[in-house]
Amino acid sequence: MSTRIAFLKGHGTENDFVIVPDPENAIDLPPATVAALCDRRAGIGGDGLLHVVRSAAHPEARGMAAEAEWFMDYRNGDGSIAEMCGNGVRVFARYLQHAGQVTEGDLAVATRGGVKTVHIAKDGDITVGMGRARLPEGDVTVRVGERSWPAVNVNMGNPHAVAFVADLAHAGDLHEAPPFSPAAAYPDGVNVEFVADRGPRHVAMRVHERGAGETRSCGTGACAVAVAAARRDGADPAATGTPATYTVDVPGGRLTITERPDGEIEMTGPAVIVAAGEIDAEWLADAVRDRR
């Protein structure tokens, strides 16, 4: 590893990421390194890390290289790997624009959840084709203190449990992952969304993310919430033949989600690069050692 590693910091509706450009996949990023970089006190701080690699240079993405030049090697803040990150893809695209690799318009980004189509608009917002949701069967109950709610299972490439609540404050402080039953429902962990109504086709949510804790936004979570809300509201696009658009307020801003009758979901929202700098390799080596 070289002595100085370039990084940037960005966010999408305040879901924030350390961005590590590494086109040739030369930087080793084991979980302890990612966790040290994402540490909010002793590191740079972030809900997750976006490792920016050319698809052709990454074993998990080589098969997508013909369709998408760049691979979003996404990691959660605790160093774990996730299949997909909706806010991350927008910030990833914003980084490529910032770096002069792409301009406004369309691009394809390889992710562990497949190739995603991204549109960078003139007005600044970014739209991502998130693919289709899966709704695995099974009854799940999410609990916080004395309260419990049935949850809707929605898979957006990564797993989500969506609970409709009367008041977002009922989700409590979310310092811990909310327990659910049956305990074996999500063998690989789950992201839990709490959702309250704000108006017609307008909801607000809080989220406890797998591998990150409570965050200010979750793009795949907002899509899962829109999908669950459309089924609850009798507005399932596959059944009605009409697209369903939901406004989803998150603590860090607002996302717009549209599901089409063919099941394809689009998410639109902001993405911002806030800083760029260099990681001190000596600090990083010490920080990683301290974590062992």
Residue 248 has which token pair?
């989803």
Of 22-30, 64-72, 79-87, 283-291: span binding ligand LBFN2T5F (CB under 6 A): 79-87
**Cα separations in angstroms, 124 against 63, 117, 121:** 31, 16, 5
> Please, what is the minimum distance in Å from the beta carbon of residue 217 to ligand LBFN2T5F?
7
Site string for ligand LBFN2T5F, 117-146 (x = CB under 6 A): ------------------------------
Catalytic residue (one of 85, 128, 205, 235): 85
Q: Is 85 a catalytic residue?
A: yes
Among 25, 33, 87, 117, binds ligand LBFN2T5F (CB under 6 A): 87
The answer to whether 33 contacts ligand LBFN2T5F (rule: CB under 6 A) is: no
Amino acid letter, 181: S
> Please, what is the minimum distance in Å from the beta carbon of residue 253 to ligand LBFN2T5F?
12
Query: Cis peptide before 182, with omega less than 30 degrees from 0?
Result: yes
Cβ atoms 154, 160 nearer than 8 A: yes
Which is closer to ligand LBFN2T5F, CB of 14 or CB of 282? 14
Residue 97 has which token pair?
């624009």
d(CA 168, CA 80): 27
Strand partners for 257? 246, 267
Site string for ligand LBFN2T5F, 197-216 (x = CB under 6 A): ------------xxxx----
- Looking at residue 184, the DSSP 8-state letter turns out to be G
Catalytic residue (one of 8, 36, 130, 218): 218
Which residues lie below 8 Å from residue 26, measured CB to CB, with a gap of 6+? none
The residues annotated as belonging to the active site are 85, 218
